[in-house]
Amino acid sequence: MNRIRCAAILAGGLSTRMGRDKALLELEGEPLIRRAARILEPLFERVIVVTNREEVALAAQIPAVADAHANKGPLAGIEAVLSYFGEATFIVACDLPYLNSDFIGFQCQQWRDELDALVAQSDDGLEPLHAIWAPSALPLVRSSLQAERPPSLRRVFGGLKGEVVDVAEARHFDARLRCFENWNTPADVGT
């Protein structure tokens, strides 16, 4: 079992570029939200989805938690997760269809309790929604949520005691780094 016991899938986005709910897009006949849950369930004792939409919660087939801040992006989801579990949690976006369970397990093994966050790195930079976040990050997360337009997750991470799992480590498990591919637009689907 991982050193990290809890995981959460963030599925609260508006999916404006996609034009429909990304969490409910299907790959091989399975909604992305259920696919992510199925990959995470054997790795963690507790897995939740953060969503305000009942149809997404039903498709996930796992407990759902709503975020308390409307239109504040993934930062609000992270706040909901850390408030709910009260312990370090692996947090991932719902629109990553090719999650790699071996790499997730490796990432969790790298966790140290003195950290606020442990973020994976792809060729595109930091992946703060393929990361472990700890409750010690909550003060900065909550103060950031007070802004009219909250800062990016990468900027918030920069203000924390965080570490990065280098992209070279991810390549050991997923040579093509498909685990970081996300579906944001109709053109991305099925690639």
Per-residue confidence (pLDDT) for residue 85, from 0 to 100: 98
Residue whose tokens read 């919660």: 57
Tell me the pairing of strands 30-31 and 64-65.
unpaired
| pLDDT at residue 16 is higher than 50 | no
> pLDDT for 120-132, tens place per residue?
999 999 999 999 9
Task: For the chain, give the percent of residues with pLDDT over 70.
Answer: 90
pLDDT band of 1, cuts 50, 70, 90 = very low
Per-residue confidence (pLDDT) for residue 155, from 0 to 100: 95
Sorted by where each starts, the structural domains of the chain and their CATH numbers stand as: 6-182 (3.90.550.10)
Please give the single-letter amino acid code of residue 96.
L
| pLDDT at residue 91 is higher than 60 | yes
Q: Whose CA is closest to 91, among 120, 113, 114?
A: 120
Higher pLDDT, 28 or 77: 77
Higher pLDDT, 3 or 77: 77
Q: Whose CA is closest to 105, among 133, 136, 130, 74?
A: 130
| pLDDT at residue 105 is higher than 70 | yes
Mean pLDDT of 131-159: 95
pLDDT band of 39, cuts 50, 70, 90 = very high
Per-residue confidence (pLDDT) for residue 183, from 0 to 100: 64
Q: Helix, strand, or coil here: 9?
A: strand
Residue whose tokens read 């370090």: 88
- Taking the C-alpha atoms of residue 148 and residue 134, their distance in angstroms, rounded to an integer, is 24
Lowest mean pLDDT among 28-37, 112-121, 127-136, 180-189: 180-189
